[in-house]
Structure 1
Amino acid sequence: MDLDHDAARQQQQHRSKAQEARIKASREYSLRILGSRMAPSLVADDIHISDLIKKKLVREDPSSTKAIRFSHLYSKLSSCSVLTKKWSILYFLLAISDQSSTAALEGRSNQQQPLSFLGLHNLETDAGPTRERERELERERTSTEQSDMTMTAHSRHGLHIPVLQQQQQQPQKRMTGYSSLSAGDHPQGNSSNSSSSSSQEVEESDLLRDLIFVFQGIDGKLVKLGAESGTCTIDPLLNITHSTRGLVSRLTELGWLYKKVNQYVQKTLKESTAGLVGQSFCSALQHELIEYFRLIAVLEAHITKDTDAAGSKGLTLKRLLVWTQESLQRLRLMSVLVECCQDLQGGALVSVVHDYTQHGDPLIQQFIHHMLERISAPFYVMLQRWIYEGELEDPRTEFFIAFRPEIEEEDMWQSKYFIREEMLPAFIGMSLAKKILSIGKSLNFLRHKCDDSDWILQNHGVGKSLKYGDIAELEGSIDAAYVGTSQRLLLLLSTKFKLIEHLTAIKRYILLGQGDFIQHLMESLGTNLSQPANTLFRHNLTGTLETAIRSSNAQYDDPDILRRLDVRLLEISPGDSGWDVFSLDYHVDSPVNTILTPVAMHQYLKMFNFLWRLKRVEYALSSAWRRQTTSARAIRPILELVPELHHCRIVCGEMIHFVYQLQYYILFEVLECSWDELLKAIEDNNVTTDLDSLIEAHSKYLGDVTSKGLLAASHDENMMPRLLELLATILDYKIAQDNLYNYALAEIERRERLAQTADRRTRHGQWGLTDQDETLDRIPDEQFEELVPGLLRTLNEYSMQFKRELSELLITLSADGDSDLRFLSFRLDFNEFYLGSLKGAMGGAGGGGGSFSSAAIAAGSRKSTIR
């Protein structure tokens, strides 16, 4: 009885120790699973894992009671919204359920565990598996192999697999030997095994294990990456067939490509030289490498499973070559992209990658498109900020729009922002890039110069985002933003800032379109401007300007327009008169000065100076004509000067005709026609689409006015100097004519004084006429021989010079290539009088063309002059 009692007690102690061992082993195994940072190489499929649990329960309990109860519990778990990792819970419970006994733990040490590829130790016990348990494990192994094959096939077709973190940490060494990716199994850490393997026949499983290392750019025991890119070295003493060596060599390309891509990513991120787009490129490469790591994890799991399963023919080198083809193609593409984008960044990098979307293979197109969605994300963020907010957020100068920080805000539109063509992506053409540039400039213009930030916040780009995809959709978004900002800007310029009113005021006052105002101003300033320039004072001229405004229809204009009209004195040179330095000026401020720039106002000033000189000549000729008309009857008694005075009226008429025709050409043919084209361009929405087109239209208008009005359109560079010399000759002739009329009026006064003296003598009973009074009806001999010939000679010289210069000008105009200038030549000489008489005018000393008879006057022949 004592013996039986001792045996029972020992058996009870043994069972207690065995139970404690099972509990301890299960606890340690659970802690390893929960403490592991790695994830299984299975698809996170709740339905699949639940099916595995049901099959297990059906095998354990043929009555299906447990399976039905599990289905009920699983439905409750599925409806629970608090738990998020339901698959992980089911997978953990399935893994724990397999550790029901110490014998089961020991039995599973020789087969594939669900998490065995993670490097977890199998638990050892003293008891071995029973025959019944072996049959059960064989059924589970068959099911597991089918499941793993299904998962592998899914992973090859692009299904999502949880991220493997095996590359970020060092796995633990497996008790089963070489099959895991552990540091202890590295070939450099076990040189004795390498030396001993050379004398043994190499199995295919050993090569498969080495290739797992090679795929990660690490040399294996048997297979090492060669010194040159794309090569590998295998110990020639190993007993490996030539075909097997070829397969291994082809498979090692994966390792080289991975190593190349990974080195680029690590180098770029380490040096921190890449911009935002470059960092996105590295991120896209890393994302693809993570998918590559998942494939390696699946392959390693298969190798381990085939090693544990006796007599298995699962994974071979040929199958491995087939399974890695898709990853090989992806790595090749990434390698090509790395080579092409080595020194590129920003839009240039996006453009190079985008060029590969033109490939004929739809799989490559899809891969590149997927890469571009990640790579171009920072680029599209910068584009979105620019076209919807007007903000240029480009810290690494990667965007195709840049700015010059040294440019002031006054020149913001013309010079501050520009396009860098080297950063322009291939899918954005230059016309579209100009629209994008215009959108951002318009938004900055509205914010800083028009004070219209509220409109930008409320109506522009609200809730819109851009990303790589349909180019047509991108163009549509850009066109919509372009039209909205441009129309808003043009509306503010025409209404709030009165752009058309300013242009009209410049035309009326600076380009002398307001006739009555210019006439009053000319009459008011005529006397003052004839004085030397250094005697003029600006405040006096300003008062005269205000008087001219009040005396003309200009007084009814907008006070803001009249306030901008001012007097300006040019730089004074020695000998200048007031006519040479006087000028009108028109002041403009922001934002109108973006169109009426200082350069444009300088062009207007040049045009005003020429038109003012032309007006001065017209004013002088009008004054000469009035004097001829009012003095004609008074000086008629001077018979000696009647032919010459008549000739003066003829020449003066020619000059007036020339000036009037030139004024008509400039004021109507040039100014009015160009002004009409400008108004049509501004009112036409198809022509003036943005501020750039408005500036272009105004520049064209100003260019036409200055080139045609100043005769700069001619191929002859001396055209304008000739015209100015001709106007100066007219003024000189007018002065000479005034001298002749002054002499004639003085002679009339002398004769009247002599007549009054004779009458007074007669009334006193004396002789009315004496020998000294014989010159009462004629010019004194000494004056007729000395003074009169000089006056007539000067008039004759200026008259001949005018005709000669005018004829040369007409010849140049008629031969010019510009049709408007040829038409001006026709207007000036419609009956070809000057061209026909040029030879005669240049002929005799005093003959042709109505020249003065100076020779007869100098000879003193009064019969030829007195009739």
Structure 2
Amino acid sequence: MNIPQLPEPPILPAAPISSGLSKSQLLSKWRDEHGLNNTSSIDILRDTVNILQGIDGTFFRFQGTANQSEFKLIPTGQRSKRVPKPTLELVIRLAELGWLYKQVAEFVHECSTSTSKGLITQALSRHVQNRLYDFYRLIALLEAQLAHTPEKDDDHSDSTDSLTLGRISVWTEEWRLKMRMMSTLVQGAEDVHGGALVSLIHGYTENGDPFIRAFVSELLEEVSQPFFNTLHTWITSGELYDPFKEFFVSNNNDLGMDLNSFGWMVGAANTAEHKANIDAGQLWAKKYSVRDEMRPRFVGEAFAKKIFSIGKSLNFIRHSCMDEEFFATNQISDIANKVLTYSDIPSLEQSIDIAFSIASQRLLENMFSKYKLMDHLQALKRYLMLGSGDFVDILMESIGPSLARPANTLYRHNLTATLEAAIRGSNAQYDDQEMLRRLDARMLEYTHGEIGWDVFTLEYRVDQPLDVILTPEVMSKYRRIFNYLWRLKRVESDLVKGWKRCVMGKRSYLKVPSLDNDWHQARLAMSEMIHFVKELEAYCHLEVIECSWERMEQFASKREGDLDALIAAHRDYLERIVSKIMLVGGRSSRRDEELMQKTKQLLNVILTFRRAVEDLYTFTLHMSSSLDHTPIDNANNNYRNKRLSTASSISRAPFEVAGGGSSSSMTGSRTSTPGAASVVDEDDDSIAGIRTRVQSSAEEFHELATYVVNALQSHPDLDVRFLAVRLGFNQFYRKPTK
């Protein structure tokens, strides 16, 4: 506001001596002629009372809008009168209240005519309007006092009923402070709304002025009520009614789900179509989210996480767990009967803690007791992590010949029948039928040339609400673990069969003394391979899976935290297994990828060696069945003719370690068409070719094993480094010194 600059009085002409008037009389006469006499106090008071209401007066008026106002003294016709400077300054100071009133009144009017304002903004408008009603009563008292004020200044100088600018200033001083605060708040409401507006108002409670703190606290008691109403509904029923997006929890309606204004899914929740279209994991993780900008400052971050978890848990209990009985319990009813207010924050915190504990415990009870989560995780550990030894052995033995054939010749119903036979023939038949019903065998997508070993997998089906933990992403990791352990088991089974050949075929070896050294070298190499594979299997099952499972059981026994904590615990359990089994450190790096590639090559070499030993056994068996004095060259020719007419009993398909696709054979190893007759080169069919293949495979395995063990010794994970100790406990694989 600008204080007007009064014009300098003109230089008075010299009065004629003959006029007979004094100088004061002449000055008064001249002021009357030029309209420069002081304006009467009663006129100033009338204008001041009008200005307090934002109304232009006779001598004073506002210029500009409510947000850009200027206060000026303007002439009123030809006889504008003079206002003394002290009086003018006092009027301008009082006019600030009228200017602030115009801003506040305009905000109230805008909120009353608008339909897009949020509930919290409307609550602020309602509170401000109630305060203006009190202000109107003050104006009415001033007007009543003005009516009893005499017209002449001399008549009311000592009257206690008279109204003066000084008295107006004293009576309106407190209101000027209130109007300043309300004007500041309504201006802030133009840029923010909802919880952000509550946070903005709450910030003024940290002011050092006790009057401002008390005023803002009283205002927040009413303005924050819509926020607390939404909060109360959210923490007692899991409903989110927030039509103006003012709460710090938002509802995501972009998930392809039919949701009503409360965030509930519309339609029968028990229908098969409903369950097929709703992913509980997606529902839990993405249906609701936190908008930190709408979180009031008196709600801390940890406090907000609890509130967020309570509503999600209650919503999940109602719609995914179908547990309507829980909402009729006395504990929830006690919290629902409480009134949450800004003035009782300690009680609010206590209610939140109680509601968090009740909702979380009920949800975990549903998951562990009603839906038997740990039993399902145990089933995944027994079947997809090959924890049930007899079942795995029977399945491997019965399904192995089928998996050696091309993938396009296999049918799912045959695999399923073999799986059921393995269950009936093992202790798995005594497991819970509900778990066994979910187990299935299927083929992954395959390409031309792949065989059954490359695409076979076990599948465990889960439904709502277990899929909030066992999401498709999680189940893909379980399949990855199964594929790795299944192929490792295949190599171990192949080596066991090869060792039986070496031991049980000793009578045949005695008849061919010239092959004693060959079998001795083969047994040494096979012992080395068996030790490596057995230790690797023991590490996977004992050091990794069993230790990780023990941690998971400890968490389940405590039943602490909420569903997010359970999901995080299971995710850590699974990530630990994947990273340690796949020999990956804290972060996947090129070195880890190279280590896994070498491990894959090592297992491929074992299969190549196993095929070479099988050829050596067939050759030895043929020689022992020949005549005692048959020349070695004739034996070679007879063996070659025999091999060209029979199919090998061992599949020559390449081996894939960690995936479902096929992989090429190792450098230096032979390749063949899966399932076809083992047609080999003449050089390979001869005893010299077989010796070369056995020796080269053994040497290549030792070279790769040396690399793997030495790489494991510098691995960042302690358990993986301990695997290197188990594999090379006698320094057999130490690098040669130069």
Q: Same fold (TM over 0.5)?
A: yes
How big is each residue's C-alpha offset from its partner over 1:746-773, in whole Å with a ceiling of 9 and x where there is no partner? 111113xxx5xxxxxxxxxxxxxxxxx6
CA distance in 1, matches of 2:328, 2:229: 18
| Conservation of the 8 A alpha-carbon contact between 1:729 and 1:801 | yes
| 1:486 aligned residue | 360
CA distance in 2, matches of 1:230, 1:244: 20
| 1:691 aligned residue | 563
1:608 aligns with 2:447: no
What's the Cα RMSD here?
Answer: 2.3
1:804 aligns with 2:703: yes
**Residues 317 and 384 (structure 1), Cα distance of their counterparts in 2 relative to 1, 3 Å cut:** same
CA distance in 2, matches of 1:797, 1:774: 29
Alpha-carbon distance, 1:836 to partner: 4.4
CA distance in 1, matches of 2:107, 2:283: 40
CA distance in 2, matches of 1:629, 1:577: 30
**Residues 320 and 523 (structure 1), Cα distance of their counterparts in 2 relative to 1, 3 Å cut:** same
Alpha-carbon distance, 1:454 to partner: 2.6
1:215 aligns with 2:52: yes
How big is each residue's C-alpha offset from its partner over 1:374-406, in whole Å with a ceiling of 9 and x where there is no partner? 211111111111111111111111111112112
CA distance in 1, matches of 2:112, 2:697: 85
**Residues 553 and 297 (structure 1), Cα distance of their counterparts in 2 relative to 1, 3 Å cut:** same
1:775 aligns with 2:631: yes
| 1:705 aligned residue | 577
| 2:17 aligned residue | none
CA distance in 2, matches of 1:725, 1:775: 39
1:297 aligns with 2:140: yes
Alpha-carbon distance, 1:553 to partner: 1.3
Alpha-carbon distance, 1:797 to partner: 1.4
- 2:283 aligned to 406, 412, 418, which one? 412
**Residues 246 and 774 (structure 1), Cα distance of their counterparts in 2 relative to 1, 3 Å cut:** closer
| Conservation of the 8 A alpha-carbon contact between 1:530 and 1:579 | yes
1:269 aligns with 2:117: no
How big is each residue's C-alpha offset from its partner over 1:381-438, in whole Å with a ceiling of 9 and x where there is no partner? 1111111111111111111111211225422111111001111111111211111111
Question: Counterpart amino acid of 1:566?
Answer: D
CA distance in 1, matches of 2:228, 2:475: 40
Alpha-carbon distance, 1:681 to partner: 1.4
CA distance in 1, matches of 2:573, 2:582: 14
| 1:233 aligned residue | 72
**Residues 529 and 780 (structure 1), Cα distance of their counterparts in 2 relative to 1, 3 Å cut:** closer
| Conservation of the 8 A alpha-carbon contact between 2:252 and 2:288 | yes
CA distance in 2, matches of 1:454, 1:308: 78
| 2:20 aligned residue | none
After TM superposition, the score normalised by the length of structure 1 is: 0.69
CA distance in 2, matches of 1:462, 1:227: 51
After TM superposition, the score normalised by the length of structure 2 is: 0.81
**Residues 541 and 197 (structure 1), Cα distance of their counterparts in 2 relative to 1, 3 Å cut:** farther
| 1:721 aligned residue | 597
| Conservation of the 8 A alpha-carbon contact between 1:348 and 1:423 | yes
**Residues 728 and 233 (structure 1), Cα distance of their counterparts in 2 relative to 1, 3 Å cut:** same
How big is each residue's C-alpha offset from its partner over 1:218-271, in whole Å with a ceiling of 9 and x where there is no partner? 110122224484642224752322111111111110111101111222234334
How big is each residue's C-alpha offset from its partner over 1:592-621, in whole Å with a ceiling of 9 and x where there is no partner? 111111111110000000000000000000
Alpha-carbon distance, 1:365 to partner: 1.0
| 2:522 aligned residue | 648
Question: Counterpart amino acid of 1:697?
Answer: A
CA distance in 2, matches of 1:197, 1:742: 137
| Conservation of the 8 A alpha-carbon contact between 1:401 and 1:420 | yes
Aligned length: 623
CA distance in 1, matches of 2:419, 2:555: 33
| Conservation of the 8 A alpha-carbon contact between 1:807 and 1:838 | no
CA distance in 2, matches of 1:836, 1:361: 77
| 2:93 aligned residue | 250
1:320 aligns with 2:144: no
1:365 aligns with 2:213: yes
Secondary structure, counterpart of 1:635 in structure 2:
helix
The structure with the greater share of residues assigned to helix is: 1
| Conservation of the 8 A alpha-carbon contact between 2:249 and 2:308 | yes
Question: Counterpart amino acid of 1:305?
Answer: H
**Higher normalized contact order (CA 8 Å, seq sep 6+, divided by chain length):** 2
- 1:260 aligned to 103, 108, 122, which one? 103
| 1:349 aligned residue | 197
CA distance in 2, matches of 1:197, 1:731: 121
| 1:224 aligned residue | 61
How big is each residue's C-alpha offset from its partner over 1:282-338, in whole Å with a ceiling of 9 and x where there is no partner? 111111111111111111111112349964353211111111100000001111112
Percentage identity across paired residues of the two chains: 42
CA distance in 1, matches of 2:321, 2:428: 29
| Conservation of the 8 A alpha-carbon contact between 2:251 and 2:289 | yes
**Residues 196 and 829 (structure 1), Cα distance of their counterparts in 2 relative to 1, 3 Å cut:** farther
| 1:445 aligned residue | 316
Alpha-carbon distance, 1:824 to partner: 1.0
How big is each residue's C-alpha offset from its partner over 1:665-722, in whole Å with a ceiling of 9 and x where there is no partner? 110111011111111112224xx31101000000000100111111122642222222
| Conservation of the 8 A alpha-carbon contact between 1:231 and 1:249 | no
How big is each residue's C-alpha offset from its partner over 1:796-852, in whole Å with a ceiling of 9 and x where there is no partner? 11111111111111121112222122111111111111224698xxxxxxxxxxxxx
1:518 aligns with 2:392: yes
Secondary structure, counterpart of 2:507 in structure 1:
coil
| 1:625 aligned residue | 499
CA distance in 1, matches of 2:630, 2:481: 57
CA distance in 2, matches of 1:547, 1:824: 36
| 2:42 aligned residue | 205
Secondary structure, counterpart of 1:315 in structure 2:
coil
Structure 2 matches for 1:52-451, cutoff 5 A? 201-227=38-64, 229=68, 231-235=70-74, 237-307=80-150, 311=156, 312-313=159-160, 314-407=162-255, 408=257, 409-410=278-279, 411-451=282-322
Alpha-carbon distance, 1:639 to partner: 1.8
| Conservation of the 8 A alpha-carbon contact between 1:248 and 1:317 | yes
| Conservation of the 8 A alpha-carbon contact between 2:440 and 2:459 | yes
CA distance in 2, matches of 1:546, 1:692: 36
